[in-house]
Chain A
Amino acid sequence: MTPEEKQIWQGIRERDGKVFEAYYKAHYRLFFLASCKYLRDPVVAEEVVNDVFMRIWEDALTLDIQTSLKFYIHRAVVNQSLNALDKNRRERLRREELKEGLLEAAEWEEMEDNELKMRFYKAIDGLPDQCRRVFKLSRFEGLKQQEIADRLGISIKTVKNHITRAMKDLHKVLLDYKHLPLWLMAIKYFFWCHH
């Protein structure tokens, strides 16, 4: 555990509801999306995440978490999501996992991918309204720049400006991730691919 996680875990073990609430709220979407990946049902995914957190809260004093708290919860959410699937689907997924060799390293990788997605989504949410609207139409609805301009009643130059602004903001957030020049990829996938 990182020192920060140790402090949080100690707080939870000492029944500090505020610490527990803050941790839950800061990580809910990460675990929720991890569950949705398997369940494809947001209602059940929410129940799974809540069940896991309840278990953490109730059993904190007896749990012996050797790795990271976040990894422990992520793994518990994935396992519980698999358990919540119907048997046939669960078996199919298990077989696929076995083929891919879902070892601890792969589980870490899955969590890191989810975390990267979270950073990205948070960055999108942090964009100014119109900029976010333009970006979402481009990335998630696949509209071309002219189509966006027409839909929002703005010029194509404004659309380009918004996307450039979005790329800069996303670049700031993502650049520190493993020192990867992500903006190069971002340019490809979020800008040039959708016009």
Chain B
Amino acid sequence: MQDELTKEQELQLNEWLDVSAANRETYERISRLYREGLADYPLYAAAREDKAWAKVRGRMGKGRARVLTLKSWAAAAAVVLVVAGGGWWYLSGRSRGVVYATTAGEQQSVSLPDGSTVVLGPQSHIELAKGYDKTSRRIELTRGSARFEVVHRADQPFEVDMDAATVRDIGTSFTIDKTADSIVVYVSGGRIAFIQKENRKSTEISAGGAICLYTGSRRAEGIRETAAGGADSLRFEDTPLSLILTGLEKRTGKRIMLVDSAVAQKRLTVNLEGEAFENALEVICSSAGLKYTIRDGTYVLEKKD
């Protein structure tokens, strides 16, 4: 190639090639591309994104679950209720369940048709099974955290399904925090059965108790259970942050929200006994690299800038 260039052009090219091995590599790649790789221009020229998009557009309203963020759900629910009455039932009867999801920093409460409530934490996602409250009361927690206040019904257990475990209520309030590699359940009222899918092992946890199942790379650590009463203490040893915050919430009655759910599994050893609430939060924040602000009465924890 250089033979076909003027001396000035050749010098310019050689200087550029001499700058780095990366330049030489790029040159080789692009030379190869020009020599061999431009044969598909006719396909490029014939491609019609508008036409292709029309097919995608046609599929977007069909099939899979209706996905509504909680904000849009509020608007949609209002419309459906006015038009059809009992709008929730209408949506839940569709081919797949209704999905509720929150974005970063969002926390929302959902009233379920059986009278139970779910408070979703930020970046959380649940899907109600088809026919919820008719044939079953099953909810799938795909990710994030959710606090459940369940109306117990002996004939139809309330179940939260996750990839590695199922939680079944036995007259219950409980919080689940699901991350990529763990499931933590804290029981604040009643009892639950925590069922590991792998071995069908069922563990009953009573109010004040907690259970943590490692599902990711730390799976070897298996299940860790805190007995009822133990969680009432504000002494924590190598405990996931989510569990510490739940304990603090329970003791003080304050609402705490963790913006970044990825931090929830950060493990801390802290003793918050005897600390004023805000001092306790400061201890947690300084240990976990967080800061807190108060928004609408909720203590919001987020990463320091």
Of A24, A42, A49, A116, which contacts B43 at CB under 8 A? A42
Hey, which chain B residues are within 8 Å of A178, CB to CB?
23, 26
Asked if B293 is at the interface of the complex by the 8 Å CB criterion, the answer is no
Q: Among residues 79 to 122 in chain B, which have CB atoms less than 8 Å away from a CB atom of chain A?
A: 99, 101, 103
Give Cα A145–Cα B79 distance, bound, in whole angstroms. 67
Asked if A64 is at the interface of the complex by the 8 Å CB criterion, the answer is yes
Q: Among residues 19 to 59 in chain B, which have CB atoms less than 8 Å away from a CB atom of chain A?
A: 23, 26-27, 29-31, 33-35, 37-38, 40-47, 49-50, 52-53, 55-57, 59
- Contacts A14-B69, A29-B47 given; does A181 touch B12 at CB 8 Å: yes
Q: Among residues 172 to 195 in chain A, which have CB atoms less than 8 Å away from a CB atom of chain B?
A: 178-182, 184-189, 192
Of A37, A54, A188, which contacts B4 at CB under 8 A? A188
- Contacts A58-B67, A109-B29, A184-B5 given; does A37 touch B56 at CB 8 Å: no
Give Cα A192–Cα B6 distance, bound, in whole angstroms. 13
Are B47's CB and A32's CB within 8 A? yes
Interface of chain A, main secondary structure: helix
Asked if B239 is at the interface of the complex by the 8 Å CB criterion, the answer is no
Asked if B303 is at the interface of the complex by the 8 Å CB criterion, the answer is no
Of B9, B42, B125, which contacts A184 at CB under 8 A? B9
Hey, which chain A residues are within 8 Å of B67, CB to CB?
15, 58, 61
Are A54's CB and B56's CB within 8 A? yes
Are A117's CB and B33's CB within 8 A? yes
Give Cα A61–Cα B43 distance, bound, in whole angstroms. 33
* Chain A window 28-66, contacts with chain B (Cβ cutoff 8 Å), 1 for yes, 0 for no: 110011001100001000100110011001100110100
- Inter-chain contact total with CB atoms closer than 8 Å: 116
Hey, which chain B residues are within 8 Å of A37, CB to CB?
40
Hey, which chain A residues are within 8 Å of B64, CB to CB?
58
- Tally of contact residues, A, Cβ under 8 A: 49
Of A25, A113, A125, which contacts B37 at CB under 8 A? A113
Are A50's CB and B44's CB within 8 A? no
Of A15, A116, A125, A192, which contacts B72 at CB under 8 A? A15
A11 to chain B minimum Cβ distance, whole angstroms, is 11
Residue among B16, B40, B42, B46 having the largest count of chain A Cβ atoms under 10 Å: B40
Hey, which chain B residues are within 8 Å of A10, CB to CB?
103
Of A14, A57, A121, A125, which contacts B60 at CB under 8 A? A57
Across the two chains, which residue of chain B brings its CB closest to A64? B180
Across the two chains, which residue of chain B brings its CB closest to A49? B52
Give Cα A120–Cα B5 distance, bound, in whole angstroms. 22
Are B38's CB and A120's CB within 8 A? yes
The 4 closest A-B pairs by CB, nearest first: A28-B49, A189-B34, A25-B49, A121-B44
Interface residues of A (CB under 8 A from B): 10, 13-15, 17, 21, 24-25, 28-29, 32-33, 36-37, 42, 46, 49-50, 53-54, 57-58, 61-62, 64, 109, 113, 116-118, 120-121, 124-125, 136, 139-140, 178-182, 184-189, 192
24 pairs, A vs B, C-beta closer than 8 Å: A14-B69, A17-B60, A21-B53, A28-B49, A28-B52, A28-B53, A29-B49, A33-B43, A33-B44, A58-B64, A61-B101, A61-B125, A61-B142, A64-B180, A117-B37, A117-B38, A117-B40, A121-B41, A180-B23, A185-B30, A185-B31, A185-B34, A187-B4, A188-B5
